[in-house]
Amino acid sequence: MTLPSVAPLRLGSLRIDPPVVLAPMAGVTNAAFRRLCAEQGAGLYVCEMITSRGVVERDEKTLNMLVFADNEDVRSVQLYGVDPYYVGEAVKVLAGDFGVAHVDLNFGCPVPKVTRKGGGAALPYKRGLLEAILRSAVAAAAPYGIPVTMKTRKGIDDDHLTFLDAGRIAEDAGAAAIALHGRTAVQHYSGTADWTSIAELKQHVGIPVLGNGDIWEAADAVRMLETTGADGVVIGRGCLGRPWLFRDLAALLSGAPAPALPTLGEVAAMMRRHAELLADLMGEDRGLRDMRKHMAWYLKGFIAGSSVRASLGMVSSLAELDVLLGELDPSQPYPVAELGTPRGRQGSPRKVALPAGWLDNTDGLSDDLADAELDISGG
């Protein structure tokens, strides 16, 4: 599947070509993984979500996450916050002290510990507060010429949809773009993403709209762009254990044919590169421990043997990894049955945890959300 070359994404003065964004994923999209993906194809690679209060108060864990790879020409950070003051001040710190060139605001996280305090996917219901946060961030970013974008979901549930209002508010506040995950918070990552909501938002606003949800292969991105009119795509779980997805996206979105699927030997080489980058970032012991969670994603569908899989899940050194990877059959073709299938967490729909009385009004400016202003980062 090919389509004519897709126009680059414009975010203020930034030009993202192809219009592909790596979604922040806690515990996954550190500097090593972002570098690995960027080696496969161009785009925008966003740092793991950090908290505005953590930045302002110089929390050590938060600041330690602000590490960027050499090939990240555009330093991009996703920021969480519920207080307009903290969000604005955090943007100033990121721009002035860390050279960040793009800030994305997270209003899509469905995790109970976040929503039960009024943050993440719960916050867009409070239209007044959402506007205040966006305006604070945009004003703080303006002197640095940094574009501010936002990520959201359709709403809390089907009875409390917020995405159209969020798009209007984002555009009026001066945001450079809005990304929409075509699920409600109650869905979490279950079911099927509703791409029609992305098309509806695109017709509703004049700023760029990015589509997110159920892009498992590069062909899915092509189909999303064709059916929704979106200006770009956000890639999350689809790249878990498959960083070459960005290579495939770069090819198809430029009008070129899709590259050949990797053999197990090529996947093993990618695993080795990933482990090497993690070791460089964290030290060999910690880096290889972090690599363990990626093993099942890389080997999904391949014939590898239970003992090798188990050993890879306990690997503790690069030398040990080399021995184990050497036991794999490098000529084994890619398991085509895995194409187009979900990856990573899915779960099932669940009631969204909200603060008491959250749905009583849609303003939010008088709500006490001090407990929701998380002081640490990491998802």
Which tens digit of pLDDT belongs to each residue from 1-24?
445 678 999 999 999 999 999 999
Torsion of CA 19, 24, 30, 31, to 10 degrees: 30
Which pLDDT score, from 0 to 100, does residue 352 have? 94
User: Quick one: average pLDDT of 251-267?
Assistant: 95
Q: Would you say 117 is a known binding-site residue?
A: no
In angstroms, rounded to a whole number, what is the distance separating the alpha carbons of residues 177 and 170? 8
User: Quick one: average pLDDT of 86-98?
Assistant: 97
CATH number of 13-259, picked from 3.30.70.920, 3.30.70.141, 3.30.310.80, 3.20.20.70: 3.20.20.70
Residue 92 clears pLDDT 90, i.e. is over it = yes
Which pLDDT score, from 0 to 100, does residue 209 have? 98
Predicted confidence band at 121 (pLDDT cuts at 50, 70, 90)? very high
In angstroms, rounded to a whole number, what is the distance separating the alpha carbons of residues 358 and 115? 10
Which tens digit of pLDDT belongs to each residue from 297-350?
999 999 999 999 999 999 999 999 999 999 999 999 999 999 999 988 787 899
Q: Would you say 237 is a known binding-site residue?
A: yes
User: Quick one: average pLDDT of 367-374?
Assistant: 72
User: Quick one: average pLDDT of 342-366?
Assistant: 90
Which tens digit of pLDDT belongs to each residue from 215-224?
999 999 999 9
Task: Write a three-state SS string for 171-199.
Answer: HHHCCCEEEEECCCHHHCCCCCCCHHHHH
Q: Would you say 38 is a known binding-site residue?
A: no
User: Any catalytic annotation for residue 47?
Assistant: no
Q: Would you say 25 is a known binding-site residue?
A: yes
For the chain, domain boundaries: 13-259, 264-338
Q: Would you say 75 is a known binding-site residue?
A: no
Helix, strand, coil percentages (3-state) for the chain, rounded to 5, are 45, 15, 40
In angstroms, rounded to a whole number, what is the distance separating the alpha carbons of residues 361 and 354? 13
Q: Would you say 43 is a known binding-site residue?
A: no
* CATH number for the domain whose boundaries are 264-338: 1.10.1200
Q: Using alpha carbons, select from 49, 47, 81 the residue that is nearest to residue 67.
A: 47
In angstroms, rounded to a whole number, what is the distance separating the alpha carbons of residues 290 and 198? 34
Predicted confidence band at 163 (pLDDT cuts at 50, 70, 90)? very high
Does this model's pTM top 0.85? My answer is yes
User: Quick one: average pLDDT of 293-299?
Assistant: 97
Q: Would you say 1 is a known binding-site residue?
A: no
